Amino acid sequence: MRRVVFNQKGGVGKSTIACNLAAISAARGRRTLLVDLDPQANASRYLLGAALEEQRKTLAHFFDDILAYKLFADKPAAYVVQTRFANLGVLPSDPRLEDLQIKLESRYKMYKLREALETFKEFDEIFIDTPPALNFYTRSALIAADTCLIPFDCDDFSRRALYTLMDSVREIQADHNRALRVEGIVVNHFQARANLPTRLVEELRAEGLPVLEAFLSASIKIRESHAQALPMIHLDPKHKLSQEFEALYRLLAA
């Protein structure tokens, strides 16, 4: 299963959701890979911590080899970094991805990620984190994925962006990946006692959008999780947010 977490809007929790779901998958004994396509490398830093700075092979090196026609010099698995968590590996990001994007797009290399991920028979689940833009990397991720998760942060701007986002996914489905399926909208930063989040979620449902039943609460604890490079189930498995991530994973795995 290859699952992309995608939203063109920033700050909606893509990296946090991708990493925490990947951590839960690995903790359950599933061989899991996190692919970080965002040049900011937040997901890589979340799972690798300071060890990210020591990596000599990243996704930038992988795409460098593609541009230099050296794809088979190293098999894609050679770029995977094992985290300190059992069963969890990362294809780490690199700021140089930003500079490589124009070259990759001009040479129409959008299918190379899918070709690479299809060789990873050793992984049961692959989660793909994406940058907050519809660009070469997000298109590559949508082409490579089986399913798509869309984070929604209970904001009116985020709601407006959903319509453009859904159109973008439909375009990829029509032109590049007919098997791609939208698993659902993940409601993030939810505050049950506030009127706006509840109203926005009800409106999305009324419009027939696929809102998932497992909501993720707003919590300051997630900042501590980021700072310590520890996904919530490793930082505090009994915390409400940890339980909500678990519920979301169970819903997706059902």
Determine the longest span between alpha carbons in the chain, in angstroms: 56
Residues 6+ apart with CB under 8 A from 226: 16, 46
H or E segment to which residue 193 belongs? none
pLDDT of amino acid 72 = 52
**Phi–psi pair at 29, nearest 5 degrees:** 90, 5
The three-state secondary structure class of 82 is strand
Provide the pLDDT confidence category of residue 159 given band limits of 50, 70 and 90: confident
pLDDT at 94 over 90: yes
Domains delineated in the chain: 2-33+105-253 (3.40.50.300)
pLDDT of amino acid 73 = 58
Residues 6+ apart with CB under 8 A from 230: none
The pLDDT tens digits for 5-50 are 999 988 899 999 999 999 999 999 999 999 999 999 999 999 999 9
Residue for token pair 């939208």: 182
pLDDT of amino acid 75 = 83
Q: Mean pLDDT, to the nearest integer, of 76-99? A: 95
Q: Mean pLDDT, to the nearest integer, of 223-235? A: 97
Q: How far is CA 34 from the centre of its chain?
A: 8
pLDDT at 70 over 80: no
pLDDT of amino acid 114 = 96
Mean pLDDT rounded to a whole number for the chain: 94
pLDDT of amino acid 212 = 96
Give pTM, 2 decimals. 0.95
Question: What distance in Å separates the CA atoms of residue 194 and residue 69, rounded to the nearest whole number?
Answer: 54
